[in-house]
Structure 1
């Protein structure tokens, strides 16, 4: 049995579990937590090998095992909100443990990240480049990824600086962890799983997102016709950073209506 994950919790009310994206950590949620802690119980949890859980080793390091470990750690029914790679983890939790999920929110995420003939996404060679860069310079690789995430935002430099300042409160993950978790973006295909998820689902997108293109949105609409979606006009890949007010209002309204 792996060591129990560390989590942080503040506030009271409906619990919301926040799962970060690739290369980053739970520090990225700080502005959102400050906004919502007076209405909800805000729970942040780092993916094993990241942030507060830097030293926790899971074997096998699979998305299914991470999902199981997170649910066992949180140990109460909650809304699970996952950003980017975290959206895959949160969706896996909703699929595996629906009785522990009051609602699912995916943010700037997609059930399959890689571009294919009939599916928009990230070019496979971009992800392969990140794999190669990880072996040379971890910090530079993360910085390059931050630039891609903020691309399209009306205030790119401010967004990159804020995200960097938030996540640098914690030590960097190892190249090994980054390499393994980057493989999730290449290999995990949840298109079938997403269609079978039974809990209430809200999908939030940034219209200017350079990693999850807006062309994927109607395709996901068909997979989950009963879900709701919000497209934030002036946001890119991190809408909770660039458009925090619109983002938190969308979350609050949906939770009050559905959960």
Structure 2
């Protein structure tokens, strides 16, 4: 029976954002069944996890980029024995900083971004795409790729996703899931501080973390081959 890997995109992006990673995984591991699933299209943020739990098959690996990784972590902890393993990409246990987890976006910066989105969604999404590519080798090209792969969801759904980014604290979920975990971070990430990689390693010494040099938050688009190689090696290592 083939291993299955579910990929979840980040906030404001559709499955197309993970297509480069999908293609790289297909080349490296043709025996691995990879499926990209969209994030929920719900205004009620508290229903997102239930919707994913109902929709996504059990017995698979769960992986996600940014918000997708935070949701994958919550789902892995909920499923425990029916999740093969967890992989997050440029995903912080807490996206918005809090006293017990300062290695995240400052609350005033996040709150200002959230308010700006409510006032002018299109302009804020444009700024967000720029932030995703900042620190990468070719930020302008990344921004264009991100624009093409942006989801066309209504503003209330995107607002619910921002609320989840602000509220989710994945530390309990990560600690409560005992399967294999790989967490990939980007050294030049403008949205998830690189310091989160070391912080997570210190907090949970038994998991695997890796910081990819010279990469931006758009890690799965910018460095799909490198991300895919790390994921495949980890999945095969867990099966050995």
Give me the TM-score of the superposition, normalised by structure 2.
0.90
Three-state SS of the structure 2 residue aligned to 1:230 is: strand
User: What are the within-5 Å matches in structure 2 for residues 112-151 of structure 1?
Assistant: 112-117=94-99, 119-151=102-134
User: What are the within-5 Å matches in structure 2 for residues 63-142 of structure 1?
Assistant: 65-117=47-99, 119-142=102-125
Please name the residue that 1:5 is paired with.
none
Distance (Å, rounded) in 2 between the aligned partners of 1:221 and 1:35: 27
Aligned mate of 1:239, from 204, 212, 219: 219
Three-state SS of the structure 2 residue aligned to 1:70 is: helix
Structure 1: stretches of 5+ with no match in the other structure? 1-11, 50-56
Please name the residue that 1:9 is paired with.
none
Aligned mate of 2:45, from 61, 67, 72: 61
User: What are the within-5 Å matches in structure 2 for residues 96-245 of structure 1?
Assistant: 96-117=78-99, 119-167=102-150, 170=151, 172-245=152-225
Structure 1 residue 117 displacement after superposition: 4.7
Instruction: Confirm or deny: 8 A CA contact 1:71 1:100 kept in the other structure.
Output: no
Three-state SS of the structure 2 residue aligned to 1:135 is: helix
Distance (Å, rounded) in 1 between the aligned partners of 2:192 and 2:118: 25
Structure ranking higher on relative contact order (CA contacts 8 Å, 6+ apart): 2
Please name the residue that 1:42 is paired with.
34
Structure 1 residue 131 displacement after superposition: 2.3
Distance (Å, rounded) in 2 between the aligned partners of 1:61 and 1:116: 20
Instruction: Confirm or deny: 8 A CA contact 1:88 1:190 kept in the other structure.
Output: yes
**Following superposition, which runs of at least 4 residues in structure 1 exceed 4 angstroms of deviation?**
none
Number of aligned residue pairs = 235
Distance change (3 Å), C-alpha of 1:21 and 1:160: same
Give me the TM-score of the superposition, normalised by structure 1.
0.84
Structure 1 residue 21 displacement after superposition: 0.9
Please name the residue that 2:5 is paired with.
16
Instruction: Confirm or deny: 8 A CA contact 1:195 1:223 kept in the other structure.
Output: no
